[in-house]
């Protein structure tokens, strides 16, 4: 038989007794999942501990409650990071965590020493991290989770049709702004 699809099994516990079927988000009824997945070669004798469900992102209304450093406006000692803020994806979540870490340490230093005045660390809007931070902290009645994409960056002054050139220019501008503002 010619294989035409792959199923990735990811180890779920240290004793290697449980495996997760990666990316199996489905609306299939549990009984149907057992029937279909048991028909996969190698899974005939598998015991199913948990069935697949469609994933749902749970996130706070960041546009109202957070600033561009993922800091809670109502309590400066509280930060949120990751997809709970409305960013979506691995890299995006890590990026928000980095912004939070940089700012939490600043906040801590200021609390330790009241005479210290340290500015918040926010990234320029022209960088992807800055654009995501702006997106989650700007009022928006239709707020939905957002991943990194060129569409959230402020447009270039010149109109460029060729996407490859346009994206390169957006990246160059981001690096330039980072150099000017943060180093
Ligand atoms: C099926 C699926 C496939 C995906 N594929 C991709 C992909 O290919 N590429 C990509 O970039 N992104 C992908 N994503 C999105 C990505 O997984 C998330 O955006 C990212 O993992 C979010 O990271 P996070 O640290 O914010 O949250 P999470 O990774 O969800 O971490 C939150 C942690 O908090 C813990 N927790 C929750 N409540 C409590 C509590 N009360 N007390 C203590 N701990 C608690 C949870 O157990 C969890 O460990 C996928 C998501 C799903 C569901």
Give me ligand 1 centre to Cα 166, in Å: 32
**Nearest atom, ligand 1, residue 91 CA:** 11
Is 147 touching ligand 1 by the criterion CB < 6 Å?
no
> How long a stretch of residues is the chain?
183
If you ran DSSP here, which 8-state letter would residue 71 be given?
B
Q: Measuring CA to CA, how many Å separate 156 from each of 82, 89, 160, 163?
A: 28, 25, 8, 12
HSE-CB for 5 with a 13 A CA cutoff: 3
pTM for this model (two decimals): 0.81
**In the chain, where the domains are located:** 1-56, 62-182
Give me ligand 1 centre to Cα 88, in Å: 9
**Predicted confidence (pLDDT) per residue in 95-148, tens digit:** 999 999 999 999 999 888 888 888 899 999 999 999 999 999 999 999 999 999
Superfamily designation of domain 62-182: FAD/NAD(P)-binding domain (3.50.50.60)
Is 25 touching ligand 1 by the criterion CB < 6 Å?
yes
Q: Measuring CA to CA, how many Å separate 165 from each of 90, 124, 158, 160, 162?
A: 26, 21, 12, 7, 6
Q: Which two tokens stand for residue 111?
A: 């609390």
């Amino acid at each position: 038989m010619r294989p035409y699809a792959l199923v990735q099994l990811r180890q779920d516990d240290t004793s290697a007794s449980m495996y997760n079927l990666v990316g199996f988000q489905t609306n299939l009824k549990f009984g149907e999942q057992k029937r279909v997945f048991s028909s996969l070669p190698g899974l005939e004798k598998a015991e199913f501990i948990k069935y697949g469900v469609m994933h749902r992102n749970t996130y706070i209304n960041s546009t109202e409650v957070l600033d561009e450093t993922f800091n809670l406006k109502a309590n400066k000692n509280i930060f949120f990071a990751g997809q709970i803020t409305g960013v979506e994806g691995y890299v995006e979540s890590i990026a928000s965590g980095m912004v939070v870490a940089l700012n939490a340490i600043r906040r801590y230093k200021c609390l330790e020493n009241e005479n210290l005045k340290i500015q918040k660390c926010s990234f320029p809007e022209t960088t992807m991290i800055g654009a995501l931070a702006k997106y989650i902290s700007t009022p928006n009645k239709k707020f939905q989770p957002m991943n990194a994409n060129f569409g959230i960056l402020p447009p270039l002054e010149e109109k460029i049709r060729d996407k490859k050139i346009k994206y390169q220019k957006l990246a160059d501008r981001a690096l330039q702004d980072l150099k000017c503002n943060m180093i």
